[in-house]
Amino acid sequence: MNVQRKDGSSYICKERGKPLRILQLTDIHLGCGAFCRRNDRLALQAVEKIVDAAHADFCVITGDMGYPFVVLGGSHDNKRPIRLINDIMERHDLPWCAVFGNHDTEPHARYTKSQLGDYMLSLPLCHFAKGPAMLTGEGNYSIPILAEDGHIILVLMFVDSNSYVGKNFFSGFDVIHPDQVQWYKDEITKLSKDKAHPLPSLAFYHIPPKEIKTAWENIYKGRGGATYHLGFVQEKDNYFGYPKTLEGTFFEEMVKFGSCKGMFFGHDHLNTLSVTYQGIRLTYGMSIDYFAYPHMLEKHTQRGGTIIEIDDEGNFEVSLLPLDDVQ
């Protein structure tokens, strides 16, 4: 397996007969300041252990690499978390990419998404792309997975789920915008030889869709219509951090389009649930966070990585890699 760039775009060449292993990490939350040195050390040690144990071919980080709150952490440097994470990837020679989360560029952070994107573009192992300039968000891009004969097996789609409706956390979470939904469809259609049958794809973004809550309620109330696979809902009072003030259409449009077979996200640090709903596998990545939630040092069952294995036909399996198992 190798990851290559051509004309500014990346693609993955898959070895026949061997599953492609993708490691999803999420919500690492490095503060990189004087007030959170212990938390950052624990988080980086956790990432190192998980990367070492995963034996992955590629790593995807679904947002919140940093947590640049000056009052809590003592720093507004939101580039240093990326550098520290990349250092780990370099030690393990692991190609990686990322999407942004709502905390990566908080209002008082030093660098914008565009500046962070430029920095990631300079890192040899990082396959982030900034995406179309006129599109909402920063970092909407695709990475096709190719068979040995060159045909596309499946497309990895990376979407910026944006941050807040207003200027900060209290304004409510934003959604994936209609122009991003259309871009997703156009990108898949462009890559598909048979326009009537779009290529299968997996979507990676940060803020979960409301449908993950609907699916979970169907399961635990016995209503049917959803399939439980693995993981837990551990947020207090079954909390799901989907956008409450805006009505997103991304999931609905993906069901209609028929390409997206799985969605992977983070954001809710204690949820690790993976379910299938309306034909799409919805999966919370295991988080790393030691810092952003109160009393996180005392919690541990949610912490780890998520493994996605893709076969020669583009089918995929999901499993958890808890930190407790690799300590």
Across 3-7, 20-24, 189-193, 238-242, least confident range: 3-7
Of 82, 72, 85, 143, whose CA–CA distance to 115 is shortest? 82
Q: What is the CATH number of the domain that holds 155?
A: 3.60.21.10
At residue 288, the pLDDT reads 96
pLDDT in tens, 131-171: 999 999 999 999 999 999 989 999 999 999 998 887 777 77
pLDDT in tens, 257-268: 999 999 999 999
Computed from CA positions of residues 204, 208, 214, 215, in that sequence, does the dihedral angle turn out positive or negative?
A: positive
Domain that holds residue 232: 2-326
At residue 73, the pLDDT reads 75
At residue 69, the pLDDT reads 79
Question: What SS3 class is residue 154?
Answer: strand
% of the chain at pLDDT higher than 90: 78
Tokens of 213: 């809550």
At residue 3, the pLDDT reads 82
Number of domains in the chain: 1
Regarding pTM above 0.95, the answer is: yes
At residue 202, the pLDDT reads 98
For residue 70, pLDDT beyond 90: no
The answer to whether 288 and 27 are in contact (CB under 8 A) is: yes
**Tokens 């999931």 correspond to what residue?**
251
- Average pLDDT score, the chain: 93
Q: How many CB atoms sit inside 10 A of residue 230's CB?
A: 13
Of 109, 118, 133, 154, whose CA–CA distance to 11 is shortest? 154
At residue 191, the pLDDT reads 95
At residue 172, the pLDDT reads 85
Decide: residue 35, CB within 10 A, 0-12 exposed, 13-18 middle, 19+ buried.
Answer: middle
CA distance 193 to 92: 36
pLDDT in tens, 183-232: 999 999 999 988 778 999 999 999 999 999 999 999 989 898 999 999 99
% of the chain at pLDDT higher than 70: 99
For residue 43, pLDDT beyond 80: yes
Q: How far apart are the two ends of the chain, measured CA to CA in Å?
A: 28
CA distance 47 to 88: 8
CA distance 24 to 68: 22
Q: What value does the mean pLDDT take over residues 69-89?
A: 89
Q: What value does the mean pLDDT take over residues 34-47?
A: 92
pLDDT in tens, 230-239: 999 999 888 9
**Close Cβ partners of 135 (under 8 Å, ≥ 6 residues apart):** 179, 180, 183
The answer to whether 157 and 202 are in contact (CB under 8 A) is: yes
Produce one character per residue of 132-144: b if its CB has 16 or more CB atoms within 10 Å, e if not.
Answer: eeebbbbbbbbbb
At residue 253, the pLDDT reads 98
The CA–CA distances, whole Å, from 72 to 32, 37, 69, 100 equal 11, 11, 6, 21
User: Per DSSP, what are the bridge partners of residue 174?
Assistant: none
The CA–CA distances, whole Å, from 12 to 6, 155, 210 equal 11, 10, 31
**Tokens 């300041």 correspond to what residue?**
33
pLDDT in tens, 258-303: 999 999 999 999 999 999 999 999 999 999 999 887 788 888 989 9
For residue 8, pLDDT beyond 80: no
Q: For strands 201-204 and 152-158, give the pairing.
A: parallel
Tokens of 102: 């709502």
